[in-house]
Amino acid sequence: MSEELISANHAAATAAALAGRANRRGRGFLSGLYPITPSTECMELLCAQDLEKGQVVRVESEHSAMAVCIGAAAAGARTFTATSSNGLAYMAENAIAAALLRLPVVMMVANRTLGPPWNVWADHGDSLLLRDAGWVQLYCADNQEVLDSILCAYRLAEDPRLLLPVMVCQEGFVLSHTVVQTDVPEQEAVDRFLPPLDLRTRLSAEARVLGGIDSPHVTEVHRAQHQDAMARVFDVYGEVQDSFQAVFGRRPPDPVVAHHAEDAETLVISMGAIASTVDRVVDAARARGRRVGSLRVRLLRPFPSGLLARLLRGASRVAVIDRDISLGLGGVLWAEGRAQAPRSALVQGYVTGLGGGDPRPSHVEAILDDLAAREASGEPVLLEAGT
Amino acid sequence: MTLVLRPGNSNCGGCGMSSALQLFGRAVEERPVQLVVPACCGAVMAGSFPYATLGVPTVLSTFASAAAVATGLSRVARQNEEATRIVCFAGDGGTYDIGMATLSAAAERNEDVLYLCYDNEVYGNTGGQRSSATPAGASTTSTPRGKIEPKKDILGILAAHRIPYAASVSLAHAEDGLRKMRHALDLSGFRFLHVLSPCPTGWKSEPALGLELVRLAVRSGLYPVVEIHEGRRLRINVEPDFSDEALEIYLSLQRRFQGSGIRAADLRPDIDRYWRELRARSGRIVPAERTA
């Protein structure tokens, strides 16, 4: 293990290369990549790596980047791609295909708002576009978590009980371009954590059609199998956490990361890097004797309903902060999470930090004040934090 | 011979894609082959899960993605020192239109992929709309009065990528076609085969007359049978007699040309111009003009 000063893009590329090399005794590694801000640097760094039985294909579009991963995964290789924003939207058709074909592709998304009008800054709207696509979605709050999550993502994706593609999301620029000290594991340790991929369903010499036509009933069965696999993610992730800790000596965060939640009357739910700002405000409020806590949803798909409901049990007031908006409804996290709060609790949604708006501690304090002053919940509040 | 197309498939009677696959199966012989079929009639033909109409391992890709999915399969096969030939089997919609960027990029990267386009000149699966491979004068459900624009020169486009091999295959000239398919299977790098593929449903023609229609298209000069090595050396494989009568019969045997009333005389100037270009590129001294 060595400490390096790297960005989250760099961490992602490093993790992908480590995972790729770990499959050198398997069928190797292939990555289809196409540049888009702010994930570009991840591509550039991977293109400069010595991959050892691995290659990067510099394709002409994100759509083809995922198609290359589909072909390579169908051939039994470990695969990776990275993208952002409109790149992910353009890739969507093949991202859905990868999931429905149950191929263990891993993708890093450096979150960026969708356009035009063009804006390169962060919100979660791009990856949430694909929340129903059958991918496991992890949202990270720091660079170390990005690196660790990509290694964990391969264990999840390739587990024969799952066979699900995994998307590791991190906010563009906020994390993608922010350089911090990160533990980079040795190849030998990654080799122990990530055994070579043995994809039994891969295309071989046997005459078989991958992706053949489904009748309505077969589609119903395939979706039920996919849903069942999603439900198994929680248990498998627990095993992956244990195994990661045994090899690397640190534990990847839980599907929902609780901060001072145990006795909290007021809980703030958020996702991604905003949670670290929330945690600071919570610490300050605790110092003033307020029973406030924070819940960070790290695993959005499958949605950790049970875990969230348990953690919300004692709360009387809940603020849900979304860095995204489902236009015509409100924040996605709010829409999905509010049902898990106790009936007696007041749950209010706040949307902030869209298109790179920068929610600071003062914004979170304003949210807490608004929540405390409420007699009832109302329509989601859109809180501007941009400059 | 590998039975690429198994009996019991759901293809229309007289389907040119079926004939192309029969010929391709003969060319494959014992070579290990994996197919990539994008959304097209070929995807419907491939059969309902869990059955397989195709006798070789196959991935069905999204419409625009065949050449990129094939890239993934091919790179991994080579990385594992496997000789498996990766073959795209795509219609004209997935080749000329929606898959063009993917195809061009794979050709530019010179991926070790054989791309076979069975060109039935129409969107068949969706019930017969125009594609950019539909010839001028042909009625489709989206050009009810006949398409105005001539079809794309797909072989010219691929040759401009300077790929190792690009050729047109006539189903009515099976030996030439078989030779080209075998040659293309054994080369490495990006290879492209174009197969004019009669579609009785879209062409509104007699199912039994498919091969005869191809023969007429070749004879009249409408469908040049050529091969291009490295994007430079062009060889004309079948010499037409440029019969206007053959062209007239070709048009009259397909109801898709009736609405526009297009005639041989309307097509002839473009055919002649194209053949002058072909002659020039083939480097052979031949008559520049057809004599009556």
Element housing A307 (H / E): helix A305-312
The number of domains in chain A is: 2
Q: Are residues A161 and A302 both part of a single domain? A: no
Is residue A208 assigned to a domain?
no
What value does the mean pLDDT take over residues A217-238? Answer: 98
Q: Is residue B287 part of a domain?
A: no
The answer to whether A207 contacts B101, with C-beta atoms less than 8 Å apart, is no
Q: Classify residue B2: in a domain, yes or no.
A: no
Q: Do A30 and B74 touch (CB under 8 A)?
A: no
Torsion of CA A123, A129, A132, A134, to 10 degrees: -90
Please check whether residue B194 lies inside any domain of the structure.
Answer: yes
pLDDT lower than 50: segments of chain B: 288, 291-292
Does any CB of chain A come closer than 8 Å to the CB of residue B34? yes
Determine whether the interchain pair A212/B105 forms a contact, defined as Cβ–Cβ distance below 8 Å.
no
A244 and A275 assigned to the same domain: no
Q: Which domain holds residue B259?
A: 16-282
Among candidates A75, A210, A218 on the partner chain, residue whose Cβ is nearest the Cβ of B72? A75
pLDDT at residue B283, rounded to an integer = 85
Chain B closest-CA separation from residue A72 CA (Å) = 4
The whole-number pLDDT of residue B285 equals: 59
Tell me the DSSP string of chain B.
Answer: ---SB-TT--PPTT-HHHHHHHHHHHHHTT--EEEEE-SSHHHHHT-BTT--SBSS-EEE--TT-HHHHHHHHHHHHHHTT--PEEEEEEEHIIIIITTHHHHHHHHHTT-S-EEEEEE-SSBTTTT-B--TTSPTT--BTTBTT---SPPP-HHHHHHTTT-SEEEEE-TT-HHHHHHHHHHHHHS-S-EEEEEE---HHHHT--GGGHHHHHHHHHHTTSS--EEEETTTEEEE-S-----HHHHHHHHHT-GGGTTTT--HHHHHHHHHHHHHHHHHHHT----SS---
Tell me if B6 is assigned to some domain. Answer: no
Residue A322 near residue A334 (C-beta atoms within 8 A): yes
Tell me the chain B residues in contact with residue A55 when contact means C-beta distances shorter than 8 Å.
75, 79
Shortest distance, CA A162 to any CA of chain B (angstroms): 20
CB within 8 Å: A27 and B32: no
Tell me which residue in A30, A63, A211 faces B60 most closely, judged by beta carbons. A211
Which of A230, A248, A266 terminates a domain? The answer is: A248
Count interface pairs A-B at CB distance under 8 A. Answer: 152
Q: Count of domains in chain B?
A: 1
CB atoms B76 and A210 under 8 Å: no
B103 close contact with A: CB closer than 8 A: no
pLDDT score for B287: 53
Q: CB of B47 within 8 Å of any CB in chain A?
A: yes
- Residue at A75 is within a domain: yes
The answer to the question of residue A21 being in a domain is yes
Q: Is A371 helix (H, G, I), strand (E, B) or coil?
A: helix
Contacts of A198-203 with CB under 8 Å at 24 or more apart are A198/A26, A198/A76, A199/A73, A199/A76, A199/A104, A199/A158, A200/A160, A201/A102, A201/A163, A202/A27, A202/A73, A202/A74, A202/A75, A202/A76, A203/A74, A203/A75, A203/A76, A203/B34, A203/B57, A203/B59, A203/B73
Q: Integer distance in angstroms from the first to the last C-alpha of chain B?
A: 45
Same domain membership, residue A238 and residue A115: yes
Which residues of A fall within a CB distance of 8 Å from B57? 203-208, 210
Task: Decide if B119 contacts B194 (C-beta within 8 A).
Answer: yes
Same domain, A32 and A70: yes
pLDDT grade for A77, boundaries at 50, 70 and 90: very high
Q: Which helix H or strand E contains A7, and what residues bound it?
A: none
Does the beta carbon of B87 lie under 8 angstroms from any beta carbon of chain A? no
Chain B residues with CB-CB distance to A59 below 8 A: 68, 71, 105
Domain that holds residue A57: 2-198+214-248
> Does a structural domain hold residue A203?
no
Between the two ends of chain A, the Cα-to-Cα distance in Å is 40
Specify if A47 maps to a domain: yes
pLDDT digits (tens, 9 = 90+) for A148-168: 999 999 999 999 999 999 999
Closest CB to A64 among B44, B47, B68: B68
Contact A27 B80 (CB under 8 A): yes
Q: Are residues A238 and A272 in the same domain?
A: no
Measured distance CA(A347)–CA(A269) in Å, rounded: 10
Chain A residues touching B75 at Cβ < 8 A? 30, 55, 57, 68, 71-72
Q: Say if B20 is an interface residue toward chain A (CB within 8 Å).
A: no
Distance from B164 to chain A by nearest Cα, in Å? 20
Are residues A67 and B79, on separate chains, in Cβ contact within 8 Å?
no
A8 and A146 assigned to the same domain: yes
Give the Cα separation of A282 and A268 in Å (integer): 9
pLDDT digits (tens, 9 = 90+) for A95-111: 999 999 999 999 999 99
Residue A209 lies in a domain: no
The CATH number of residue B68's host domain is 3.40.50.970
Q: Do residues A186 and A277 both lie within one domain? A: no
Smallest Cβ distance to B79: which of A53, A63, A93? A53
Cβ-based contacts of B9 with chain A (< 8 Å): none
A269 to chain B nearest CA, in Å? 38
For residue A364, pLDDT beyond 80: yes
Nearest chain A alpha carbon to B75: A72
| pLDDT 10s digits, B242-270 | 999 999 999 999 999 999 999 999 999 99
Whether residue A179 is predicted with pLDDT greater than 60 in this model: the reply is yes
Pair (A34, A137) in one structural domain: yes
* Assigned token pair, A371: 């929540």
AA letter at B67: A
Between CA B106 and CA B190 the distance in angstroms is 8
Q: What pLDDT does residue B292 have? A: 47
Q: A92 lies in a domain?
A: yes
Please tell me which of the candidates B52, B74, B79 has its beta carbon nearest to residue A208: B52
The domain that contains A45 carries what CATH number?
A: 3.40.50.970
Same structural domain for residues A352 and A277?
yes
Same domain, A283 and A327: yes
pLDDT at A86 over 80: yes
Each residue of A277-324: pLDDT tens digit? 999 999 999 999 999 999 999 999 999 999 999 999 999 999 999 999
Residue B101 sits at the chain A interface (C-beta within 8 Å): yes
ipTM of predicted assembly, 2 dp = 0.97
On whether residue A378 sits in a domain, the answer given is yes
The verdict on A11 and A122 lying in the same domain is yes
Q: In this structure, what CATH number is given to the domain that contains residue A273?
A: 3.40.50.920
Sheet containing A346-352: order of strands: A256-259, A292-297, A266-270, A317-322, A346-352, A381-383
Residues of A with CB under 8 A from a CB of B: 27-28, 30, 32, 53-55, 57-61, 63-65, 67-77, 79, 93-94, 97, 203-215, 218
